[in-house]
A and B are shown apart, each in its own frame.
Chain A
Amino acid sequence: MAPLSHYLILSAILFSLGVVGVLTRRNAIIVFMCIELMLNSVNLSMVAFARFLDSMDGQIAVFLVMTVAAAEVAVGLALIVAIYRKKESINVDEMHTMQG
């Protein structure tokens, strides 16, 4: 099995790619996918720690994170649909109604 640090570095690379996506894309759906990528990279590091520490808690935490991610995707995509109905666009730069 590969050493723990390699799993953690893969997780760090995927997380940073997610950050790049969130900061550089304007399409709300792709921003959303990048958030999912960041959640998954954290899941990977939790499973790796659980395996290397002879513990099961990490896998339970991943199970719960996946539940939250599923609920989040359902609500988030509903929000995107609602915003598209109102503004005819999902450009994140145009969502500034609450900017005061």
Chain B
Amino acid sequence: MEIMMQYFIANPAFYCFAGLAVIFAILMLTMENPVYSAIFMVLTFFCLSAIYITLEAEFIAVIQVLVYTGAIMVLFLFVIMLLNLGRDANLSEYSGPMKYISMAIAFALLVQIGLATKVTFNIGDKGMYPIEKIRQVGNVEVIGGLLMSEYLYPFEIASILLLLGMVGAIIISKKNQ
């Protein structure tokens, strides 16, 4: 308890946003109405973006907000409202044993990952970008430089993937002639 308090005082931002992220995630998957679920999904991702700031990954934090609240949430809400799924009565959710079995599976997974972080935790070699160096140049500049030099091919492939995704989405959602 004492130790937890010390951690909390040393870094309140992380623990506050971590708690909020978990609460919003639970609300997201218990809401009946998918519109509320979408809103809580966005709030969860906002909290994650704040946590990226505590890790000094500013670029990732900004594109998290841009991509997830700017693009993906609008897409989700658009589809929910287009299909008028406000409250679908025939969508009775699972109940009884199925629900408890799946919760037990998820809990087992959580315990397994938690134990893995506790027991076999072996940190690797340090990389070439210590935080002082990144602070000096700026996070965005370092990422931009790497994307244009070392990771040029993955970057180009990502652009082709986005183009294919766009074409695919249009073709799939087009009405059949």
Contacts and interface: CB of A to CB of B under 8 A. Distances in A.
Contacts, number: 242
Contacts of B147: 60, 63
Contact of A53 (B11, B54, B83, B126): B126
A63 B166 contact: no
A89 B48 contact: no
Interface string A43-70: 1100110111111110110111011111
B131 A54 contact: yes
A73 B50 CA distance: 23
B105 A19 contact: yes
A70 B29 contact: no
A81 B79 contact: yes
A81 B134 CA distance: 44
A10 interface: yes
Interface string B40-70: 0100110010011011110110011001100
Chain B, interface residues (CB within 8 Å), range: 35 or more
Given A12-B113, A70-B162, A84-B83, A54 B128 contact: yes
Does more than half of chain A's interface fall in helix, strand or loop, or is it mixed?
helix
Contacts of B25: 14, 17-18, 37
Interface string B1-16: 0000001001100110
A24 B11 CA distance: 35
Given A17-B22, A67-B158, A81-B83, A36 B72 contact: yes
Given A14-B25, A26-B92, A75 B168 contact: yes
Interface string A21-44: 101111101101110110010011
B29 A27 contact: no
Contact of A30 (B10, B29, B131, B169): B29
Interface of A: 1-10, 12-21, 23-27, 29-30, 32-34, 36-37, 40, 43-44, 47-48, 50-57, 59-60, 62-64, 66-75, 77-82, 84-85, 89-91
